[in-house]
């Protein structure tokens, strides 16, 4: 059972990690796309038509032109970006926690307890919980108007907020319960909840 | 946890990812698709971009439900398409309608489309995107002076006046730039 839970965590984390890879590729493609005013787009009729550039084609009678917005560079750092990267960081820490060697659960002496506390597994676990809490906080601040309780759980943002919050609470509970037995299951459930929350609004 | 389990999970994830990347039509396809789908699927149909996009912003099909596109593309509606005669020949009209319906809000797994579809009551057939509940709610805090009173915007209908990546289907707040209001913040 314990082995299965670990396997599920790792599989989920691998999927999430791959999302990050794909996103990086996507960003690279975006960088390669020329700007609206470049020679490439000026020569591409489909782009021009979609953007409703005045010079692209004659207008139908009575039609209203809608020229494109001026060149604009979105801010590199924003609340929603912070939320996104903190969430991905949380998932990375969940994976690291699962993969890190576990210290012995039978600590009797103070030295053994200190060793437990300072193990990589414990450190990654605490980092995952801290990042999860930060992710939820930034999500609430940056996306406050994106979720509305009256829309119910079929709304992807509502479900994202619920699963993300439950996941973060589960991770905090797992950290506070460690090294007692059973904390792994709670932490794993929290990680999976977070992963599903990310996928829902990815 | 054995190394075989870890390697198995990695290989499984890789195979899962590589074989289903482009599938968006089914739930499983969506689950296995790691491309970002939080926005609106971009309009890509050349005929639609040509025929509709030459007069106005080529609104993405995922901005309205199929029943809205169905009604909007009816011959009698196109004769008076928001005050303009936008009649098309039957074949072209049907081809565009098929594209719009196939990619309409309720058939898309893109997040904003799902929210649009969920926000429209059964039987409701909005013809103006600006009257869709989700769109109205997203813009409710924008002062009138920034839209109607703004000579470079004039109406919410002109999505791409402020949404700088609207043609890519991106309506994220980070990509909003309201003309004449550079310091705007929601």
Chain A residues inside the 8 Å CB shell of B38: 201-202
More confident residue, B26 or A77: A77
pLDDT at residue number B2: 54
Which pLDDT score is estimated for A27? 42
State the DSSP string of A138-159: HHHHHSGGG--GGG-TTSHHHH
Q: Does the pLDDT at position A67 exceed 60?
A: no
Determine the 3-state secondary structure of B154 from DSSP.
coil
Q: Do A49 and B34 touch (CB under 8 A)?
A: no
Residue B94 has pLDDT above 60, yes or no: yes
Cα torsion through B24, B25, B26, B28, rounded to 10: -20
Nearest Cβ partner for A52 among B35, B50, B57? B57
For chain B, give the percent of residues with pLDDT over 90: 75
Look up residue A131 and give its DSSP letter: H
Which pLDDT tens digit goes with each residue over B14-51? 555 554 444 456 777 777 778 888 999 999 999 999 99
B121 in contact with A, Cβ within 8 Å: no
* Complex confidence, ipTM: 0.80
What are the start-end ranges of the H helices in A76-200? 79-99, 110-117, 120-142, 156-177, 183-200
Question: B111: which 2 tokens?
Answer: 């997040």
CA pair distance B161, B177, nearest whole angstrom:
8
Beta-carbon pairs below 8 A across chains A and B: 145
Please answer yes or no on whether B13 and A6 come within 8 Å at the CB atom: no
Q: Which residues in chain B have their CB less than 8 angstroms from residue A158's CB?
A: none
* CB count in 10 Å sphere of residue B7: 10
Mean pLDDT of all residues belonging to chain A: 75
Q: Which residues of chain B make contact with A9, given a CB cutoff of 8 A?
A: none
User: Looking at chain A, which runs of residues are DSSP E strands?
Assistant: none
Given a cut of 60, whether residue A31 has pLDDT beyond it is no
B82 touches chain A (CB under 8 A): no
In this prediction, residue A41 has a pLDDT band, given cuts at 50, 70 and 90, of very low
- Mark yes or no for CB contact B13/A99 under 8 Å: no
- Whole-number pLDDT of residue A120: 95
Lowest-pLDDT choice from A41-50, A122-131, A191-200: A41-50
CB-CB under 8 Å, A26 with B31: no
Q: Which of B10, B49, B174 sits opposite A74 (nearest CB)?
A: B174
pLDDT tens, residue by residue, A156-184:
999 999 999 999 999 999 999 988 888 99
A149 touches chain B (CB under 8 A): no
User: Which residue of chain B comes nearest to A1, CA vs CA?
Assistant: B1
Q: B182 to chain A: which residues are within 8 Å by CB? A: none
pLDDT surpasses 90 at B84: yes
Contacts of B49 in chain A (CB under 8 A): 46, 49-50
CA dist list (Å): B129 to A153, B55, B134, B159: 24, 16, 9, 10
- Residue B9 scores a pLDDT above 80: no
**This model's pTM is above 0.90:** no
- Judged by CB atoms closer than 8 Å, whether chains meet at A157 and B111 is answered as yes
At residue A192, the pLDDT reads: 94
**Taking a C-beta distance cutoff of 8 angstroms, is the pair A166, A194 a contact?**
no
- The residue ranking higher by pLDDT, A181 or B10, is A181
**Chain A touched by B160 (CB under 8 Å):** yes
Tens digit of each residue's pLDDT (9 = 90 or more) over B148-165: 999 999 999 999 999 999
Residues of B in contact with A49 (CB under 8 A): 49-50, 53-54, 58
* Measured CA angle at B20 (ends B14, B21), to 5 deg: 85
Whether residue A7 has pLDDT greater than 90: no
Give the residue from B81, B142, B174, B184 with the most A CB atoms within 10 Å of its CB, the best one to mutate.
B174
A198 versus A31: which is more confidently predicted?
A: A198
Cβ B5–A6 below 8 Å, yes or no?
A: yes
* Cα–Cα separations (whole angstroms), residue A189 to A85, A137, A179, B28: 21, 20, 17, 22
What pLDDT, in 10s, does the model give residues B103-137? 999 999 899 999 999 999 999 999 999 999 999 99
């Amino acid at each position: 059972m314990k082995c299965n839970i670990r396997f599920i965590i790792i599989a989920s984390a691998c999927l999430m990690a791959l999302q990050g890879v794909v996103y990086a590729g996507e960003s690279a493609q975006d960088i390669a796309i020329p700007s609206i005013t470049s020679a490439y787009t000026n020569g591409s009729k489909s782009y021009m038509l979609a953007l409703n550039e005045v010079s692209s084609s004659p207008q139908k009678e009575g039609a209203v032109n809608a020229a494109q917005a001026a060149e604009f560079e979105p801010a590199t750092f924003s609340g929603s970006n912070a939320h996104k990267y903190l969430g991905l960081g949380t998932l990375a820490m969940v994976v690291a926690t699962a993969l890190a060697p576990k210290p012995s659960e039978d600590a009797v002496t103070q030295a053994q307890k200190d060793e437990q506390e300072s193990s990589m597994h414990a450190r990654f676990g605490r980092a995952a919980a801290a990042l999860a809490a930060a992710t939820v906080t930034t999500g609430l601040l940056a996306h406050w108007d994106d979720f509305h309780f009256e829309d119910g759980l079929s709304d992807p943002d509502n479900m994202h907020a619920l699963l993300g919050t439950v996941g973060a609470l589960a991770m905090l509970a797992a950290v506070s319960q460690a090294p007692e037995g059973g904390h792994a299951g709670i932490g794993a459930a929290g990680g999976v909840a977070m992963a599903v929350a990310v996928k829902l609004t990815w | 946890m054995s190394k075989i389990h870890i390697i198995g999970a990695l290989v499984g994830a890789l195979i899962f990812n590589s074989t289903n990347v482009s599938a968006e039509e089914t739930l499983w396809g969506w689950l296995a698709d790691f491309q970002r789908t939080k926005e609106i699927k971009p309009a890509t149909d050349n005929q639609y971009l040509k025929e509709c996009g030459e007069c106005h912003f080529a609104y993405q099909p995922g901005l309205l439900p199929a029943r809205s596109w169905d009604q909007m593309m009816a011959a009698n509606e196109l004769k008076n398409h928001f005050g303009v005669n936008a009649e098309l020949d039957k074949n072209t009209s049907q081809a565009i309608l098929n594209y719009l319906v196939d990619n309409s809000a309720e058939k898309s797994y893109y997040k904003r489309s799902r929210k649009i579809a969920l926000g429209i009551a059964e039987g409701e057939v909005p013809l103006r995107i600006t009257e869709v509940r989700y769109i109205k709610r997203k813009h409710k805090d924008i002062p009138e002076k920034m839209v109607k009173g703004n000579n470079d915007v004039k109406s919410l209908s002109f999505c791409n006046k402020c949404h700088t990546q609207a043609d890519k289907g991106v309506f994220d707040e980070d990509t909003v730039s309201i003309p004449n209001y550079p310091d705007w913040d929601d």
